Amino acid sequence: MTHARWRGAVWPEAETAYDRVLQEKIRRTVWVTGGCRSWYLNDAGRNVSLWPDFTWAFARQTRRFDVSSYEVLLPHPQ
């Protein structure tokens, strides 16, 4: 059995909304409020690499693929 491969890209609106939620959660963490200077922060002091919640929350949030957040490009049938 052959599975079709697809390509996709995140819709900019979905990425912006997701980032807004992450940044709201992370702004209250020690990584941002504690005056940390680490590789977690970019030159502007913005944390772009940490998940600001419990690992079980990440697992719950990512257990289902939300296709509506992506532009999906299917291959042409051969």
Chunk the chain into consecutive blocks of 10 residues (it has 78) and report each block's average pLDDT, rounded to whole numbers. 70 93 86 75 80 91 89 75
Instruction: Measure CA 25 to chain center.
Output: 13
Residue 73 is given by DSSP the state E
Q: What pLDDT is attached to residue 78?
A: 62
Whole-structure pTM value? 0.70
Instruction: Measure CA 26 to chain center.
Output: 13
Closest listed residue to residue 27, CA positions, set 45, 54, 39, 12: 45
Q: What pLDDT is attached to residue 2?
A: 53
Q: What pLDDT is attached to residue 1?
A: 42
Q: How far apart are CA 78 and CA 40, in angstroms?
A: 46
Q: How far apart are CA 44 and CA 22, in angstroms?
A: 17
